[in-house]
Amino acid sequence: MQRQIVFPLFEEICLSTIIDDYREFRSAFMWCMGCKLCMHARSIVYCRANGIGWMSDGSAADSDEMVEQMLLSVSMIHWMYRDWGVEYFVPVYSIPRDEKRSMLKDMGFHM
Annotate 62-103 with three-state secondary structure. HHCCCHHHCHHHHHHHHHHHHHCCCEEECCCCCCCHHHHHHH
Percent of the chain residues past pLDDT 90, beyond the cut? 43
pLDDT of residue 4: 56
Q: What is the pTM of this model?
A: 0.75
What's the DSSP call for residue 51? T
pLDDT averaged over every residue in the chain: 85
User: What's the pLDDT tens digit per position in 75-89?
Assistant: 999 999 999 999 999
Phi, psi of 26 (to 5 degrees): 55, 45
Whether the Cβ atoms of residue 30 and residue 22 lie closer than 8 Å to each other:
yes
